[in-house]
Chain A
Amino acid sequence: MRRTAGILLALVALTVPFWIANPYFLHVVIMAGIFGILALSLNLLLGYTGQLSLGHAAFFGIGAYTSALLTLRLEWSFWPALPAAVVAAGIAGWAIGRLALKLRGAYFVLVTISFAGVVALVSINWMELTNGPLGLPGVPAPELGSWSLRTKTAYYYLVLAGAALSYEVCRRLIHSRIGRAFVALRENEPLAESVGVDGTRYLVLAAVVSAGMAGLAGSLYAHYTRFVSPEVFLFTYTVTMVIMVVAGGKGTLAGPLVGAVLFTVLPEALRAATSWQWQMLAYGVILVVLVFFLPRGIVPTLFR
């Protein structure tokens, strides 16, 4: 049952541009894909190690800026810029992990918030590097040989590839010894430590992978919207990621993806369905109702 569903889903995903002709819908799907990668990354920390990072937008932003700056200032091609963005974000993740060291729970959260706050302010104020609030317009679209990936269809496949890669990385990680260590950390850290699981080491590892993945999403975002500004560090991005992970189902692999699709499509659907005054109010109310009736998240409630 699971396998057929999986294959069906893959077929659907691969043929999306052919049955969604409307470019606006395709735009929404692409954004859903980028947020899906973000949600997967946050889920690694929140769902599996049990630590909440409320500064995840920082890794997203670092990936976006790195990729944008490398392609704009140093005229790199997109293809080396993307892994560079992943690495830069990963390094930031490592920094968080080391900074947080023995911190857990609310204290870890606060460190992530503070770190994100500092990074955001640097991006606004360090004009020479980031162009500050004016942002970086004109980020080039990726090119494959002489063929530009500017079109939505081409970009969709790029994002799909990124999402599939992220999903696979998560899946492998979760089902490995490392993944089990994460869960042990989440469930009972002192107990895990007593059998030799080094909490800090695994938390740092989770932070690095999680951050790198967010950086991947950031790079994809930068080359799609072709404009990066300090607003990528806005807290609302982090909040959106949290909503996607928790409402979708944290600690599952499909949950974040379901959450990402739902909560990317929902605001746009509301934009079309209601006038601007009611869009976000409806969103908030729907969110409350959803969480109320599906407190463990969509995927765990419906599919467990």
Chain B
Amino acid sequence: MDQLLQHLLNGLVLGGTYALLGIGLTLIFGLMDVVNFAHGEFYSLGAYATFAGLSLADLNFFAALGVAIVCGIALGALTERVLLRPLRGHSIDTVMLVMIGVWISMQNGELLLWGGVAKSIAHPFPTSPLTLGGLSLAPLRLFVLAAAIGLVVGAHLLVHRTRLGRAMRATFQDADTAALMGVRIHRIYTATFAIGSGLAAAAGALLGSVFIAYPSMGDLASLKAFSVVILGGLGNIGGATVGGLVLGIAEELGAGYVSSGYRDAVGFVIIMAVLLVRPSGLFARAERVG
């Protein structure tokens, strides 16, 4: 029983990290329809920016996290302005291809800049785990879970309770009408992409300190993010969160009780099963599919 509980706890923490990856992408992919293959690279950027802040600028951990998020937002805005705005109106595949190019460039740029050796990100939390009976949880992970929840709630509030959020929802529902109503759609697009990238950077900063930072860390992150977003319903922050948790717990239980070699396969099978039953993902609004 203890083992099961520990697996569930592990899965919860893992799922929280997946959710964090998903909420940024659900804005970019779900709302803007940009197949952002470079999302994982903003994740890596967050981790490396944190590392740089800590080791080069001697900032404290939380300040470095903040810097990382700001970098993500800034670079995201720049990318949108320079590469995506001119291509708006072109086919979704063209945009996807540009983002593939960005992905390759960013990752190899990071490799050139930082080298292939993984970087450890120092954090101020004690390393001995918190224990409750037979269960163990590291304080850092608890912090990451809490931060993830905070970011998810923050993102949800942003989209549903602020003027900016309202403008975003209006733009993505009907850009022309929104423009007529005075919404500066160009700015909204830039802001959305920037926020999504900032969230990815936040995920990278947090998870980079739990794990380690290395140039190809974004690849797996991208893949999980896409799975979580589509599973949870495009554009749905709550859905992405639940999707992340479901995926995390499923993988953990799969690895624990089926086989560690087939761990990711369990996730994939669950995804396929979910889509068979609910073709628009777990929580998408009922829309015509096909």
Contacts and interface: CB of A to CB of B under 8 A. Distances in A.
Direct contact of A and B (CB under 8 A): yes
A31 B272 CA distance: 33
A221 to B, nearest CB: 22
Contacts of B234: 106
Contact of B100 (A113, A115, A281, A287): A287
Question: What secondary structure prevails in chain B residues at the interface with A?
Answer: helix
B93 A246 contact: yes
B179 interface: no
Interface stretch (A69-77, A118-126, A162-170): A118-126
Interface string B211-236: 00000000100010011001100100
Contacts of B276: 99, 101
A102 B290 contact: yes
B101 A284 contact: yes
Interface residues of B, number: 49
A110 B93 CA distance: 16
24 contacts: A52-B93, A106-B29, A107-B230, A107-B281, A113-B223, A114-B271, A114-B272, A118-B268, A121-B268, A239-B37, A242-B93, A246-B93, A278-B112, A280-B104, A281-B108, A283-B104, A285-B105, A287-B104, A288-B98, A291-B97, A292-B83, A292-B86, A296-B91, A296-B94
B178 to A, nearest CB: 23
B265 A122 contact: yes
Interface of A: 46, 52, 99, 101-104, 106-107, 109-111, 113-115, 117-118, 121-122, 124-125, 189-190, 199, 235, 239, 242-243, 246-247, 250, 277-278, 280-281, 283-285, 287-288, 290-292, 295-296
A19 B265 CA distance: 48
Contact of B101 (A46, A189, A250, A285): A285
Given A99-B276, A113-B223, A122-B265, 14 more contacts: A110-B271, A113-B226, A114-B227, A118-B265, A121-B265, A125-B262, A242-B93, A246-B93, A246-B94, A281-B109, A288-B83, A291-B101, A292-B98, A296-B90
A107 to B, nearest CB: 6
With most chain A CB atoms within 10 A of its CB, the pick from B231, B264, B271 is B271
B275 interface: yes
Contacts of A292: 83, 86-87, 98
A235 B269 CA distance: 18
Nearest to A288: B101
A169 to B, nearest CB: 23
B289 interface: yes
The 5 A-B pairs of least Cβ separation, nearest first, read A284-B104, A284-B105, A288-B101, A287-B101, A114-B268
A99 B234 CA distance: 20
A107 B223 contact: no
Contacts of B226: 110, 113
Interface of B: 29, 37, 83, 86-87, 90-91, 93-94, 96-98, 100-109, 111-112, 219, 223, 226-227, 230-231, 234, 259, 261-262, 264-265, 267-269, 271-272, 275-276, 279-281, 288-290
Given A117-B268, A125-B261, A295-B94, A103 B290 contact: yes
Nearest to B98: A291
Contacts of B259: 125
Contact of B105 (A125, A190, A239, A288): A288
Given A106-B29, A284-B102, A121 B261 contact: yes
Contacts of A291: 94, 97-98, 101
A282 to B, nearest CB: 9
B97 A287 contact: yes
A107 B96 contact: no
A246 B90 CA distance: 12
Nearest to A46: B93
Contacts of A243: 97, 100
B97 A247 contact: yes
A184 B262 CA distance: 40
A281 B279 contact: no
A284 B265 contact: no
A104 B281 CA distance: 12
Contacts of B83: 288, 292
Residue among A102, A103, A291 facing the most chain B CB atoms (10 A cut-off):
A291
Contacts of A280: 104, 107-108
Contact of B275 (A110, A117, A281): A110
Contact of A111 (B102, B103, B272, B289): B272
Nearest to B263: A121
Contacts of B275: 103, 107, 110-111
